[in-house]
Amino acid sequence: MTSDRKVALVTGASRGVGKSAAVCLARAGFDVAVAARTLTEGTGSDVAHDGTVRPLPGSVASTAELVRAEGTRALQVAMDLADPASVASAARQIMDEWGHVDVLVNNAIYTGQGAQARVLNVAMDDLREELEVDVMGPLSLVSALVPAMVERGGGTVLNVTSAVAYIDPTVMGSYGVGYAVGKAALFKVAGILAVELGDRGIRSYNVHPGFIATERMALHEADQEGLDLTKAAPPEVCGSVVAWLADDPSDPPPNGALVESQELCARLGLVPGWPR
């Protein structure tokens, strides 16, 4: 157990935005607990809307190697946000190994068959699992880790969000009731943390990645009419913003705010050469 090193926990860190956030945090000097379900390369998969299961690259082990390559420590953590016992066990593992967490990045989302189901089609079991992953899991981590942040005098909670959380469906269209409800519920947490614990050193933000070219997006490109990944930003755009917010910036956004990562990344020039 140590008390002097900066420690971050990133969920869903086996690929995509979570992987990039873990690496960017390491580059900023954080030791990173890399948490996800996919522990080793070759075991990851995605469930399409019709139930088709397809392999996905990425793993906890692979991301941990990238973190260590930046010169900081990586802790490989098995975490299934659909399983409360798994979440509790993962939080205990991190606290036992490293003693504290300075930054919690709630990035992982539910990717099961019911993720984009319409109201009349969604199965209640799928919906319950989605809310467990997208809402209860992150809140369980807040409950497990934020009290120690308060005791240490401060900490940061970053919730990776989606536009479905704050743009009305009559304007944006439906992204599936489970996904929209789950993201909208978690969206409220940052502001509540800012109001209740801001004066005790807790900073919290909703971080919107925008259109990002992740491994899952590439897998779905052939299935989504009109999806052009050449217009998508690389995952490093959101990852760099996560690291910037975590590293106690001198002029941060208002506590509890929504942060549009592509806008902020471009304004601050956090990723060299982007946008083209």
* 19 located within any domain: yes
Choose the weakest-confidence range: 40-44, 111-115, 125-129, 131-135.
111-115
DSSP 14-81: TSHHHHHHHHHHHHTT-EEEEEES--STT-EEEE-TTS-EEEE---HHHHHHHHHHTTS-EEEEE--T
Express each pLDDT in 174-224 by its tens digit: 788 999 999 999 999 999 999 999 999 999 999 999 999 999 888 877 666
CATH of the domain at 98: 3.40.50.720
Evaluate whether residue 275 is within a structural domain. Answer: no
Burial of 259 (0-12, 13-18, 19+ CB in 10 A): buried
Residue 274 is assigned to a structural domain of this protein: no
**Residues 203/252, Cβ–Cβ less than 8 Å:** yes
Cis amide leading into 272 (omega within 30): no
Residue 54 lies in a domain: yes
**Distance of alpha carbon 252 from its chain centroid, rounded?**
20
Domain coverage including residue 59: 7-268
The predicted pLDDT at position 41 comes to: 95
Question: What pairing do the DSSP bridges indicate for beta strands 31-36 and 44-47?
Answer: unpaired
Is 78 within the bounds of a domain?
yes
On whether residue 219 sits in a domain, the answer given is yes
What is the per-residue pLDDT across 212-266, written as a single tens digit (0 to 9) for each?
999 988 887 766 666 788 899 999 999 999 999 999 999 999 999 999 999 999 9
How many separate domains does the chain show?
1
Is 208 inside a domain boundary? yes
CA distances from 25 to 103, 152, 217 (A): 10, 20, 23
200 within some domain: yes
